[in-house]
Amino acid sequence: MSFEKRNSSKDFMLPSLPTAKCSIPRAVTVEKRSHGSHRLSSPSPYKNLQSSVPISETHTKLKHLIPPYVSAKTWAVYNTITGQILFSQGAEERREIASLTKIMTCYLSLKLAEKYNLPLSKLVTVSTRASRITGTSANLQAGDELSIQDLIYGLMLPSGNDAAYALSEFFGTYLGGVKPVRAFVVEMNKMAEEIGLKNTKFRNPHGMSLRPNFSTAKDVCIMASHALIDKLFSEIVNTKEYICKISKENSREIVWKSTNKLLGKGVDGVKTGQTPRAGNCLCARFVYGKVPLIITVLACKTKNSRWVEVPRLAEWTYSKI
């Protein structure tokens, strides 16, 4: 694979070469494509190298630093111990994040339950409006009664937009104001500011594109790292299947399965996301190396490419650290 193909962004953070004598006299120029992405226009980044190091050795050193090709428009690899981005491409470029939004919805719900001394066993009644939210669903019906904890599982495993709306309605009433959902979203943005998400803006609790939420690969990594400190959050996002018993006139059980296909494969969370405008997104924590990594990819080419490309980035990063 050529250097041009594997570095499809102008801003991949390439570490300095180990020898001071090695330089590239002609800067690799960036050619902007019509659809907004970039590619490196130099056909051979090794051709014009002037160095005391043999060309073959220099080629090997450069190739060693090149990340594997991924189709994501932007991505970031985050060191959870140091709180630093290790490698990235467009890490601070704002994009829609779809259901990665629910990381904040879940985290804030847990924090508000703690703040207002609400037991997670407290029952919540699903409103008609919540039950009618389109998109990914936890299959809730108007009048369903289930606990806060059940709702959070319905939020994070099947990525239920209905569960997100029900949680925001419920906790929004404790935040004051005549519009509980709006009050909850305001609190989401306050929390984002508190934990240092500089390029994130929430407009809804579920991530649908009608009023889109924007963030960056870097911010999503930071958001996930804060949420994963919460023990229950970590347990929920690492759960493959959950059975919920719904209480109402016609009681029933619903089985929710996680949309994260990497669970148990060196990954213990965090969240998937997908809308036509946001593309296919994933935030995952890898724990099979010495350093836990959080990797976020935004706008992958296909739904299934995430399951291949994100582990590829993890494996490559572990080989460098």
Among the options 8, 9, 99, 127, which is catalytic? 99
N-terminal to C-terminal alpha carbon distance within the chain = 23
Give which of 59, 65, 8 is closest to 33, Cα–Cα. Answer: 8
Catalytic residue from among 109, 159, 168, 225: 159
Which tokens in the block code for residue 246?
């719904």
Q: Please identify which residue in the block is written with the tokens 């994040």.
A: 97
Query: How far apart are alpha carbons 101 and 317 in whole angstroms?
Result: 26
Q: Is 261 a catalytic residue?
A: no
- How far apart CA 87 and CA 221 sit, in angstroms, is 12
| CB-based contact 37:8 (threshold 8 Å) | yes
- E strand or H helix at 293, and its extent? strand 293-300
Structure tokens given for 181: 């959902």
**CB within 8 Å of 122: residues ≥ 6 apart:** 147, 148
CA–CA dist 185, 104 (Å, integer): 10
Active-site position among 8, 9, 42, 102:
102
Report yes or no: 276 and 298 within 8 Å, Cβ to Cβ: no
CA distance 27 to 15: 16
DSSP secondary structure string for all residues of 67-79? PPP---SEEEEEE
With CA atoms as reference, report the closest residue to 269 among 227, 237, 295. 237
In whole angstroms, give the CA distance from residue 128 to residue 165: 11
Q: Is 131 a catalytic residue?
A: no
The amino acid that residue 54 corresponds to is: P
Q: Which two tokens stand for residue 46?
A: 């090794």
Is 115 among the catalytic positions? no
Q: Which residues participate in catalysis according to the annotation?
A: 99, 102, 159
